Structure 1
């Protein structure tokens, strides 16, 4: 098995598969209502909806970095987008659909890579090689870890509704 295939497998397991660490992101989100997703059950914590939007942002950022080989980051507004002011089930379903689309897009981009690409590093927006940046391998492992980290947060927030 090639390393790209292993990365795709782990990304899928974290998102919607048989994750080693516990329920996948999709399993953790199953059954959460719009009202629950928009709630702030823990003082100082993000809502589930905010976390889902944040995860979507980072799936897009990693896609953009891979496609452009440029270390583009999100703006503050992109990093933690605000959910709709009036949450409803339709908007919550749409947010989850956008998350899946971002996941599918990243999987497609990764699927076009070769194992030799995993040692690449991005350039700064001025197209200057950045020797301090992580390799694409580390970035892709990071997006998997990021998914698990926030899945754990969502699981804890869910417990507040039990």
Structure 2
């Protein structure tokens, strides 16, 4: 019996979730790029909450992990991001801030392109076939879980950016 309802396409679903986590509309509030673009350079380089990372550092961190997940979708072994997990924003210029915004967007587009080219059956493959589960590294999990993890990562950090920016403005 033929069905009038479309079949579920997990790649299409994950691409939509990735897009919403970066560009919106996100269910939880501002998406990552919306939150980052609402932050000025002067706000981005400040640490309003003790030793917590500032917005500029969060932006570079998010770009780094988007790049790393895209690299893994090509079959590369898990490792820490090429640009490192966290950067120090001391000496972070206005041009660095603009570059960080560009890098988050570009890394999101690159990940989306890698995801679009991924056969759906690869979503069940383990990232780092012979690696044991390493939560901070994000290895030893199915590719679907890793992609979902970076989407959640975007939402988590979007919330931080909103709170840090609000703290500076209040």
Whether 1:121 aligns to 2:122 is: no
TM-score (norm: length of structure 1): 0.89
- RMSD (Å), alpha carbons: 1.7
The verdict on how the C-alpha distance between 1:86 and 1:22 changes in structure 2, with shifts beyond 3 A counting, is: closer
Aligned-pair CA distance for 1:65: 1.1
Distance 1:86 1:16 in 2: 24
Structure 1 counterpart of 2:28: 21
Distance 1:155 1:45 in 2: 14
State the SS of the aligned residue for 2:130. Answer: coil
CA contact (8 A) 2:33 2:104 kept: no
Aligned-pair CA distance for 1:32: 1.6
Distance 2:84 2:27 in 1: 30
Aligned-pair CA distance for 1:33: 1.6
Structure 2 counterpart of 1:82: 88
CA contact (8 A) 1:60 1:106 kept: yes
Structure 2 counterpart of 1:36: 43
Distance 1:58 1:111 in 2: 18
Distance 2:60 2:45 in 1: 11
Structure 2 counterpart of 1:104: 109
TM-score (norm: length of structure 2): 0.85
Aligned-pair CA distance for 1:134: 0.5
State the SS of the aligned residue for 1:79. Answer: coil
Gaps spanning 5+ residues in structure 1: where?
none
Gaps spanning 5+ residues in structure 2: where?
1-7, 134-139
Aligned-pair CA distance for 1:86: 4.5
Structure 2 counterpart of 1:7: 14
Structure 2 counterpart of 1:68: 75
State the SS of the aligned residue for 1:32. Answer: coil
> After TM superposition, where is structure 1 displaced by more than 4 Å over at least 4 residues in a row?
none
The verdict on how the C-alpha distance between 1:137 and 1:9 changes in structure 2, with shifts beyond 3 A counting, is: same
Whether 1:138 aligns to 2:139 is: no
Aligned-pair CA distance for 1:84: 5.5
Distance 1:116 1:38 in 2: 42
Aligned residues: 156
